[in-house]
Amino acid sequence: MRISASAPGKLILMGEHAVVYGEPGLVLPLRQLRAVVTLTAAPQPRLEAPDLNLFTDLSTGIAAMGPDVSTQSLHPLEVTLLKAQHHLHTHHNLPQQLPNLCFHIRSDIPVKRGMGSGTAISCACIRALAAYYHCRLNVAEVEAFAQAMDQIYHGRPSGIDAAVIAHERALRFQRDPKGAPVVRFLDVPHLALLIGDTGPAAPTADVVAHVARRHARDPRIAEVIQRMGALVRSAEQALRNQQWQVLGQLLFENHQCLQALEVSTPTLDHLITQAEALGVAGAKLSGAGQGGICFALFDAENPNVDAQVKALRQAWKPVCTQLYDFSAALSDAD
Ligand code: MEV
């Protein structure tokens, strides 16, 4: 027996942080980068995550721990698996205890970079367990589970990550005045992107809390957040009309807003300045910030685009721990 399930990474195009305050955000799945959970028979429940050098028995089920699995004494991956089992038990009348399986977890999505690695693992875990039980889960249920897990680890998640990763579709996300998520799928054509990874970011919960503290103290922060909402609305139109230069300028402006929120870093700012100097359509940090990734958008119709991609790769390479070049492939295709 061998069962696998997976989920993609994500790239927030625009609107991170502002979505926490009810503004819209635009986000893409990164299908090329995936978290994969594979289940095989084992004498007792076991977790293997070679990327994290984590090999451990999972003999303690949710029954022994109670529904409030302590997040302090267990590794987050163990908590995710136990919570997934608990969800299937309470919502689908399946066993309380994890079955005798080896849960092998691997991921192409680098952790703590703003690319949704934890959320993707939550989605892949519950899908794999459900598949083992031949239990059909709809996407909304997977999304709700991933959002509940993000609430444990990210403090005050808007829900944008859970939505894009569970649906695996480009989307516009906004919370309505009562806080309910409103998702609209986007038809996003060929986006020529280069993603630069500057290394681990600060924990999302800390960065979101930093913005919240500033928001509570300084009325100008609310203005910045409103401005970000306006930029996203303009970006939707630019996306629809495939106006890459217009969209790019909006990305640069969005980055300036993120600087004003104090979630950028000198390294991220340096990379964005390099992109601007090379005449690239646009660039900004992506995700919660204070480290992590940024990306550049190229105008694929520009006759110099190949030279621009090459030049930016060369400029970013010495600074970045990793480059993801989706300038030829499509970030939301297939
Ligand atoms: C994190 O991927 C995006 C943030 O806007 C937080 C959130 O929306 O949950 C920073």
Contact 195, 272 (CB under 8 A): no
Mutate to test the pocket of ligand 1, among 13, 20, 171 (most ligand atoms within 8 A of CB): 20
Task: Report the residue among 10, 204, 214, 285 best suited for mutation to probe ligand 1: largest number of ligand atoms under 8 A from its CB.
Answer: 204
With a 6 Å cutoff on the Cβ, whether 87 touches ligand 1 is no
Residue whose structure tokens are 């698996």: 81
Q: What six digits make up the tokens of 199?
A: 């290394």
d(CA 271, CA 315): 8
Atom 9 in ligand 1: residue holding the nearest Cα: 157
pLDDT tens digits, residue range 291-313? Answer: 999 999 999 999 999 999 999 99
Nearest ligand 1 atom to the CA of 157 is 9
User: Which sign, positive or negative, has the C-alpha torsion 121, 208, 293, 276?
Assistant: positive
pLDDT at 66 over 80: no
Question: Which of 113, 154, 258 should be mutated for ligand 1, with most atoms under 8 A from CB?
Answer: 154
Tokens of 301: 């119709």
Place of tokens 């520009």: 302
Using a 6 Å cutoff on CB, does residue 288 contact ligand 1? yes
**pLDDT tens figures, 136-191:** 999 999 999 999 999 988 878 999 999 999 999 999 999 999 999 999 999 998 79
- Burial class of 72 by CB neighbour count within 10 A (0 to 12, 13 to 18, 19+): exposed
**Token pair for residue 40?**
């095989």
281 and 191 in contact (C-beta within 8 Å)? no
Q: What share of the chain is helix, strand, coil (3-state, %, to 5)?
A: 45, 25, 35
